[in-house]
Amino acid sequence: MTSQSMSDGESRLARGRRALAEIDGEAGHAVVAALADIAPDFATYLFEFPFGDIYSRPGLTLRDREIATIAALTAMGHAAPQLRVHIEAGLNVGLTREEITEIIMQMAVYAGFPAALNGLFAAKEVFGRRFPPAQDGVSAGSPASASPPPGAT
């Protein structure tokens, strides 16, 4: 057994809280807050297992881990809220908009065009919120398209 299961559950929780804050930022806090009155223990598990155990492991960078997560959530297709959180998380840990777009496009090969299209529109929504046109007129992959046609989606 490796070192990560030596210290107590408390430190898994603390480590998970730190990792969740680093990776998911505000979106992670919102999910945990929303669990408070339905399943507070599940928030604990969410801190402990995915973030305290898995994301805290040394064998892969957080950037690489988010490539894996964005790919999987796009391909699975039924986890739109989590995909949006992890597109934002990808930006938080160093992926560029272009790289995230590439990952999602690639999923057309493995999970079909609908899954990739839905992923791209999720990315468009997250990028639009994070990089509003006024402050940043350059959208991913297409410098000239600062003004999207209204209602196009």
- Can you list the alpha helix ranges (DSSP code H) found in the chain? 9-24, 26-35, 40-46, 62-76, 80-92, 97-111, 113-130
Q: Taking the complex as a whole, how short is the minimal distance between the CB of residue 149 and a copy of itself, in angstroms?
A: 5
Q: Taking the complex as a whole, how short is the minimal distance between the CB of residue 86 and a copy of itself, in angstroms?
A: 9
Q: Taking the complex as a whole, how short is the minimal distance between the CB of residue 82 and a copy of itself, in angstroms?
A: 4
In 3D, which of 105, 121, 119 has the Cα closest to residue 153? 121
| 52 interacts with a copy of itself by CB under 8 A | yes
Task: Tell whether the torsion through CA atoms of 98, 99, 105 and 106 is positive or negative.
Answer: positive
- One symbol per residue from 128 to 147: x for binding a copy of itself (CB under 8 A), - otherwise; what is it? -----------xxxx--xx-
Q: Among residue numbers 106 through 125, which ones bind a copy of itself (CB under 8 A)? A: 106-118, 120-121, 123-124
In 3D, which of 68, 66, 76 has the Cα closest to residue 126? 66
Task: Tell whether the torsion through CA atoms of 69, 117, 81 and 26 is positive or negative.
Answer: positive
Q: Among residue numbers 62 through 91, which ones bind a copy of itself (CB under 8 A)? A: 64-65, 67-79, 81-82
Q: Among residue numbers 10 through 49, which ones bind a copy of itself (CB under 8 A)? A: 10-13, 30-31, 33-42, 44-46, 48-49
| 3 interacts with a copy of itself by CB under 8 A | yes
Angle at 100 between CA 137 and CA 97, to 5 degrees: 20
Q: Taking the complex as a whole, how short is the minimal distance between the CB of residue 24 and a copy of itself, in angstroms?
A: 12
